[in-house]
Structure 1
């Protein structure tokens, strides 16, 4: 993705030069502003004067096609009566936008990073996840997420917030499971996270989504491929969205990559993993086998999954 500066390309909405800065952050910020405007029941023509803009300028801002100015964004947030959490999100997106070319790689460790990652994910039309240690957050059950929060030794209220945001991401997945590919190292199915009943519930949850259209692919543990240790998420946006975004997520932060030089190697890594993974049906059979093994660890035997 290009860095800052102007382009000779023209925006069809107003004929002005199209801005080609760090559009991923600007696009999500614009989507946030559009959602707030629509929530207030305002048209573009009604909202434009609130930031001293023309209708076409506000439209371009909402589509991530114009560099957002801090004062314009602040005025709109005030007019839309945005809450503090939404304002905090907008500040982070503005930080990414104003960083110019440096925004091609942005580390978000600020409070609310999971909420902002949720906004990014919700805006995507397709998502590809790789996980080599634990299940991807959008597929985690509440008890699985709680066990991970306990393992991270997060203090309250961060621990509850961690679980709450993961539940929100899981809710988005439940609404629209199609368009998602999940690549998992086979060890993820067997690595205990919480008690045995937590794992049985979690893998049955994964099985449920596999039946609803999520493409579950398993990379066999006995394979010869050296797998990435970091969880990788590739987000694909439909027109007129930005180029692909790659997110490297840890338990406490998200690292966004948007430049082609950075995203292409990760896309190639995902393709390589897909080539070594078994097909969907074989992957589901591996999930079923892992469920059976975890059921054997239940205190009262296979029938007790609580």
Structure 2
């Protein structure tokens, strides 16, 4: 088993196994909630890896499901302990909690950050902005200052959080692998003004030289394509026990897709975008030419 960087992977593993055990016991979520004397939503959140698991709840569920194998019980309780850890992003809980009043800061942003930190690879299609993992500080500030209703102090904290998220790209040991497909519009939109955009394009060129970062441009010239309905991300995990998931964000909320069929559809769409995009080498040349014109 690959070591987890944060609490999300053990929570997902715990939830998936609890769901399997419940189904093997022939029980519904309602049955489990009744046995635990809690709400259905509590059991549902536990099975989907959301929230901090409590040892007593898990032990009670294992008793309800008549799980007697001691090794299995110990494995699940280890995941409970690992799932109770707090990641570095907990230091930003003050700004991660402002989401309900600000569509740019979703109330479950902390969940996405945690997933991103545990992921081994992020595949992303962007239509309007450079992905947060590749943004310069000034670009990020321009985005957040323009589209967020947060005050200056909160914006500063969100920018700092975004910069810290990028640290995984540059570590020597097991860096995060990213494959970004950028619609050409992303490169033309002058976020923050000309100087900020020049610095951002320069940053993309530098990142494109790293072995763990692939950047491809989807040019206007291809016309319509299979992802006309908007941006999305696919997060992959190194352990075979942890299923990939899709993250789609909008002003109205965030969508996590974890069913195998759904993830497969988005992976196929991403592969189609890759095939129609400029190659990594051609994309570097394309961005370099844009930079010369600015």
TM-score (norm 1): 0.63
Alignment of 1:206-285 (within 5 A): 206-213=204-211, 214-226=213-225, 227-250=227-250, 254-285=254-285
Alpha-carbon spacing, 1:52–1:81, altered in 2? closer, same or farther (3 Å) = farther
| Cα RMSD for the two superposed structures | 4.1
Alpha-carbon spacing, 1:240–1:136, altered in 2? closer, same or farther (3 Å) = same
Q: Does 1:57 align with 2:54?
A: no
Alpha-carbon spacing, 1:127–1:61, altered in 2? closer, same or farther (3 Å) = farther
1:118 paired residue among 108, 113, 118: 113
Give 1:212 deviation, angstroms: 0.7
Q: Does 1:141 align with 2:136?
A: yes
Alpha-carbon spacing, 1:155–1:55, altered in 2? closer, same or farther (3 Å) = same
In structure 2, the partner of 1:166 is 162
Give 1:253 deviation, angstroms: 5.3
**Partners of 1:114 and 1:200 in 2: how far apart?**
29
Q: Secondary structure of 1:194's match?
A: coil
In structure 2, the partner of 1:42 is none
**Partners of 1:84 and 1:203 in 2: how far apart?**
28
Alpha-carbon spacing, 1:259–1:289, altered in 2? closer, same or farther (3 Å) = same
Q: Secondary structure of 2:222's match?
A: coil
Is the 8 Å Cα contact of residues 127 and 236 (structure 1) preserved in structure 2? yes
**Partners of 1:128 and 1:281 in 2: how far apart?**
18
**Partners of 1:140 and 1:5 in 2: how far apart?**
40
Deviations 1:88-111 (A, max 9, x none): 79xx9xxxxxxxxxxxxxxx932x
Is the 8 Å Cα contact of residues 27 and 242 (structure 1) preserved in structure 2? no
Is the 8 Å Cα contact of residues 130 and 233 (structure 1) preserved in structure 2? yes
Give 1:254 deviation, angstroms: 3.6
**Alignment coverage as a number of residue pairs:** 236
**Partners of 1:173 and 1:82 in 2: how far apart?**
17
Deviations 1:232-275 (A, max 9, x none): 11111122542111111347954211112332222221111111
In structure 1, the partner of 2:200 is 202
In structure 2, the partner of 1:103 is none
In structure 2, the partner of 1:130 is 125
**Partners of 1:5 and 1:81 in 2: how far apart?**
26
1:152 paired residue among 147, 151, 165: 147
Is the 8 Å Cα contact of residues 24 and 245 (structure 1) preserved in structure 2? no
Is the 8 Å Cα contact of residues 168 and 176 (structure 2) preserved in structure 1? no
TM-score (norm 2): 0.66
**Partners of 2:252 and 2:166 in 1: how far apart?**
17
Is the 8 Å Cα contact of residues 132 and 162 (structure 2) preserved in structure 1? yes
Is the 8 Å Cα contact of residues 89 and 110 (structure 2) preserved in structure 1? no
**Partners of 1:263 and 1:230 in 2: how far apart?**
16
